[in-house]
Structure 1
Amino acid sequence: MVKLTDNEFLEFVKIMHGNYGIDLSKKRILIEGRLSNLVERKGMNSFSQYLESIKKNDKEEITLLINKLTTNYTYFYREENHFKFLKEVFLPYEEKNNKMKVLNIWSAGCSSGEEPYTLAMVMDDYFKFNSSWKIQILASDISENVLSKAREGIYAEESLSKLPESYKKKYFEKTPDGRYQVVPEIKRNITFKVFNLMDTIREKNKYDVIFCRNVMIYFNAETKMNIVNKFYEAVKPQGYLMIGHAETIQRNQSKFMYISPAIYRKE
Structure 2
Amino acid sequence: MRNETSNNHLDREFPMSNRNFELIADVAYHITGIKLGDHKRNMIYSRLARRIRALKLQSFDQYCALIEGQEGPEIHEFVNAITTNLTSFFREPHHFEFLANKVFADLKRQGQTRRVRGWSAGCSTGEEPYSIAMVIREIMPPSGWDIKLLATDLDSNVVAHSMEGVYSADRIADLSTTRQQKWFMKGKSGEQVKVKSSLQNLITFKQLNLLHNWPMKGTFDFIFCRNVVIYFDKETQKVLFDRYADILKPNGYLFIGHSETLHKVSDRFRSLGKTIYQKIR
Is TM more than 0.5 here?
yes
TM-score range, shorter chain: over 0.9
Length-normalised TM-score, structure 1? 0.94
Task: Look up the match of 1:136.
Answer: 148
Q: Give the 5 Å matches for 1:190-209.
A: 190-209=203-222
Aligned 8 A contact 1:248 1:262 in 2? yes
Q: Give the 5 Å matches for 1:185-264.
A: 185-251=198-264, 253-264=266-277
Task: Look up the match of 1:166.
Answer: 178
Task: Look up the match of 2:99.
Answer: 86
Aligned equivalents of 1:199 and 1:73: distance in 2? 23
Aligned 8 A contact 2:28 2:36 in 1? yes
Say whether residues 1:116 and 2:141 are aligned partners: no
Task: Look up the match of 1:57.
Answer: 71
Where relative contact order (Cα < 8 A, 6+ residues apart) is larger, the structure is 1
Distance 1:68 1:252, change over 3 A: closer
Give the share of equivalent positions with the same residue, in percent. Answer: 35
Aligned equivalents of 1:141 and 1:183: distance in 2? 21
Q: 1:77-126 CA distances to partner (integer Å, 9 max, x unpaired)?
A: 11110110011111111111131101000000000001111111100101
- Unpaired runs of 5+ in structure 1? none
Distance 1:198 1:247, change over 3 A: same
Shift of 1:37: 3.6
- Unpaired runs of 5+ in structure 2? 1-12
Aligned equivalents of 1:205 and 1:163: distance in 2? 33
Aligned equivalents of 2:233 and 2:254: distance in 1? 19
Q: Describe the SS at the equivalent of 1:260.
A: coil
Task: Look up the match of 1:153.
Answer: 165
The amino acid that maps onto 2:154 is: I
Length-normalised TM-score, structure 2? 0.89
RMSD, aligned CA: 1.5
Q: Describe the SS at the equivalent of 2:271.
A: strand
Shift of 1:41: 3.9
Looking at CA atoms only, which structure, 1 or 2, has the larger radius of gyration? 2
Distance 1:252 1:119, change over 3 A: closer
Q: Describe the SS at the equivalent of 1:32.
A: helix
The amino acid that maps onto 1:174 is: K
Distance 1:7 1:160, change over 3 A: same
Aligned equivalents of 1:120 and 1:41: distance in 2? 37
Q: Describe the SS at the equivalent of 1:38.
A: helix
Q: Describe the SS at the equivalent of 1:226.
A: helix
Q: Give the 5 Å matches for 1:168-187.
A: 168-178=180-190, 179-187=192-200
